Amino acid sequence: MSNSNPNNGGLEALHRLKSTEPPLFLAPSPDLSQAARLASKYVFSLLQPHCPKSPFDNLLVDEFDAEQIWQRIDIQSQPLVSNLRRELNKFEKNPELVSKGFDRFKDEKKTQEREIEEQYDEMDGYYDDDGDKMDGLDDEEEMDGLDEGEDDDDDEEEEEEEEEEKGRIAGIEDRFLKVKELEEFLEDGEARGYGLQKKKGNRKVDKKKKSEGSDEEDEEEGEDDEDDAEDEDEDEDEELGDLGFSDDDDEGLDKLGNARLMLWTRLVRGDKAKIVVDCCYFGIIMIEEKGFKSKSKPIKESEDSDFGNDEGSGSMHEEILSTHEREHMRHQSDIEQMEKVNLEPKTWTMQGEVTAAKRPKNSALEVDLDFEHNIRPAPVITEEVTATLEEIIQKRILEGRFDDVQKPATLPSKAPREYKEMDENKSKKGLAEVYEEEYVQKTDPASAPLTFSDEQKEASMLFKTLCLKLDALSHFHFAPKPVIEDMSIQANVPALALEEIAPVAISDAAILAPEEIFAGKGDIKEEAELTQEERKRRRANKKRKFKAETAKRIANKAQTTIWAKLRIIVKSTAYMSSINKKNPLTTEAAASLLPPDNMPAKTPITAAVPQLTVPGNLVLP
C-alpha cells in the first residue's frame, strides 16, 4: 500500500500538532487526539520497516485506547532497540561500515529525515514547555513525549530507552573511553578546531545546566561521564562541538553530513544518550535521544535550523573565539547559573531553623545530619573494664577500707535519767500519819520527829544511852541533859475526842482513859478495900504460888548437885587418862563431854548424860 497519503496525512497531523498552542493540549479535544493518532501512526509506519520482528504492520489507532496504543508502540520498540544495539556493536568493530552507511543515506534521506527531526525537535520543544508529564521527574529534565497525543506512553517508552541506554553507556564507556583512540582522534580533528569553539562553549553551558539542575541518576552518571570525557579531551570537545550537537541531547543530528562523524565522536566519547545510533535511522536516533532534551531547546532549535540549512558544511560557520573569550563565555554562563540559583528559594537544609512543617515529609531521614557532641560518650562495658573494677573491689576488701556510713559519736544530749526504784512494800505509815508529819514539819520544824529508818532509830537510841553513860562516867559534875518536851502524838485517841476544846497543858491522865494508863492484871484493889473473902482468896493465891516456886527450886537444886558430881567424875577421868598414855584424852575433849555451864536447870537428868567408862581402879574421893 502506498504510504504517501497516510504519510502526508501523518505529516499534516504532525504539522498541526506543532502549530497548536501548548495550553490547548491540556484540555481534551477530539481534534487534537485525532491528529495525534495520525501522527503516531505515521511515525510507526516509518519505523516499521527497520524493525525485523515487528508484529504489527501499522499502528491501528482508530478505536483503541491510549494505553493500548502505547502497548503496541512498546512492543515494536523492544526488539528495535536490541536490534540497534547489535548494529552498534557491529559498527564498533568495523568502523568503515559507518562511513559507508552514512554515504548511502546522505542524499536520500536527509531531506526527509531532516524534516522529521525538525518537527520532532519542535514538538519536543512544546513538550519542554508543557513541563512535567510524569511524576518524579525534575523540572529541568523532561522525558518528552515522542507521540504528541500519547504523552505518557511516549514518556514511558523513552524512559525505558533511556534506561537501556544507560546500561549501554556503561558498556560503551568501557570500550570507548580509551585514551589512545581519543588522542588519535584529537590529532585528526585539529584542523577543524577553531570552527567548533562556539559550539563547544554552548555545549558546556548546556552540560553545566544539566549537571546543576538535576538529581536524576542518568544525569549524574552522565555528569561523571562528561566530566571524565571533559577532563580527558577538552580539545575534542572543541572539535565535536561544531557538528551542531551543541546540546548533549539529540542535537540536531540534523546534519547528515556530520551525522556520521557525530556518531563516531559520540561513540568515542562515551557520550550518553546520543550514541544509540543506527546510522541509517535518524528517526530512531531521534526517538532515543529525545529523552534528554534540556531547556536549552529554543537555542538548539535555532542552531539546529541553522545546521539544518547548512548540511554538510559542518560546524565551520562558527565564529572563531579566542581562548579568553571562550573562558569569558564560560564564566558568564557560570555566573548566570549561580545568580539563578541564588534567586531561587533555598533548600530547607540551608534555611537555618526549620520545623517539621516547613520541610517535606520524612526529609530529615534522608539527609545526613551531623551534630557535634560535646559530651563524652557513654563507656562501653568490656571485659577489661569489668576486670579492673573487680580488682579495685578486691583491693579494697583486702584492705578493709569501706566508705560506709559512720555512726556518729553519741554525745549525751541530756543527763542520764535517774531511775527511782519503787519500793513495792506497803508503807508502814498510814496516810494520816504522813500528813501529820508534814503538818508538824510545817508548823514547828525544830520539834518535828526526824524521819529515820527503824535501824537508824535503834542505832541512835543505843548511841544515846552509851553517850549518857560515858558522860556520867567522865564528867565530874554530870548534869544530864534536860529532857526536851516534844510534841508527841498520842495515837490512841479517837479523833472526835481531840477536837474537844481542852486546855493545852493537860496531863496524860486526863486524856487517856484509866484502862489505857494502867491496864493492870495484878491486884488492883487495895487491902483496905478488900472484903474478907477477897482477902482470903488473895492469900490462897499467894500460898499456891509460893508452893509451886519452892518445889521448882528444890528440883533445880537436885539437878545441879547431880551435874556437879558428874563434873568431878569427868575431870578425874581426864586426869587419869593423861597419866595413862594409851588413851590420852585432852582436857578440851573432856570438857566438851561435859554439858555446858549455862545449861538450863530444868533439863531432865536422864538425857544427855554422856556415857563414860569409868576405869575400875579409880578410887573416888
Partner 1 sequence: MFRRNQRLRREYLYRKSLEGKERLLYEKKRKIREAFQEGKPIPTELRNEEAALRREIDLEDEHTAVPRTTIDDEYATASEKDPKILITTSRNPSAPLTQFVKELKFVFPNAQRMNRGGQVISEIIETCRAHDFTDVVLVHEHRGVPDGLVISHLPFGPTAYFSLLNVVTRHDIKDKKTVGTMPEAYPHLIFENFSTKIGERTSTILKHLFPVPKPDTRRIVTFANQSDYISFRHHIYEKHGGPKSIELKEIGPRFELYLFKVKLGTVDQNEAQIEWVSRPYMNTSKKRKVLGD
Binding residues for partner 1, per CB under 8 A?
374-376, 378-381, 385, 389-390, 392-394, 396-398, 402-408
Alpha-carbon span 117 to 120, nearest angstrom:
5
Q: How far is the CB of 359 from partner 1 (least distance, A)?
A: 23
Cα distance between residue 314 and residue 255, in whole Å: 7
The DSSP secondary structure of 201-262, one letter per residue, reads HHHHHHHHHHHHH---HHHHHHHHHHHHHHHH-HHHHHHHHTTT--SSSS-----HHHHHHH
Pick 346 or 396: Cβ nearer partner 1:
396
Residue in this structure with the C-alpha cell 497548536, named with its chain if needed: 20
Closest among 51, 54, 41, 56 to 6, alpha carbons compared: 41
| Shorter beta-carbon distance to partner 1: residue 385 or 558 | 385
Q: Give alpha helix (H) positions in 360-430.
A: 363-366, 383-399
> Closest distance between partner 1 and the C-beta of residue 373, in Å?
8
Report, in Å, the least distance between residue 378 CB and partner 1: 5
Q: What is the DSSP string of 509-544?
A: HHHS-HHHH----S--S-GGG--HHHHHHHHHHHHH
Q: How many residues does the chain have?
A: 621
Q: Which of 47, 21, 304 is nearest to 154 (CA)?
A: 47
Are the C-beta atoms of residues 290 and 119 closer than 8 Å to each other? no
One-letter identity of residue 167: G
d(CA 359, CA 347): 9
Q: How is residue 244 written as a grid cell?
A: 551542531
* 382 versus 598: smaller Cβ distance to partner 1: 382
7 and 112 Cβ atoms separated by less than 8 Å: no
**Residue 390 or residue 523: which is nearer to partner 1 going by CB?**
390
Compute the least distance from the CB of residue 352 to partner 1, in Å. 18
Minimum CB separation from partner 1 for residue 452, in Å?
48
Q: Are 399 and 387 in contact (CB under 8 A)?
A: no
Q: How far is the CB of 292 from partner 1 (least distance, A)?
A: 49
Nearer to partner 1, 389 or 502 (CB): 389
- In the complex, the smallest distance separating the C-beta of residue 374 from partner 1, rounded to whole angstroms, is 5
- Pick between residue 407 and residue 426 the one whose CB is nearest to partner 1: 407
For residues 391 and 458, which CB has a smaller minimum distance to partner 1 in the complex?
391
Query: Nearest distance from residue 369's CB to partner 1, in Å?
Result: 16
| Nearer to partner 1 (CB atom), residue 100 or residue 396 | 396
**Dist. CA 107–CA 437, nearest whole Å:** 161
Where helices occur in 344-453 by DSSP H, the ranges are 363-366, 383-399, 431-443
CB of 363 to partner 1, least distance (A): 25
CA nearest 250: which of 180, 208, 184, 307? Answer: 307
Q: Which is nearer to partner 1, 402 or 419 (CB)?
A: 402
Closest to partner 1 by CB, 381 or 564: 381
Nearest distance in Å: CB 298, partner 1:
53
Give the Cα separation of 14 and 147 in Å (integer): 10
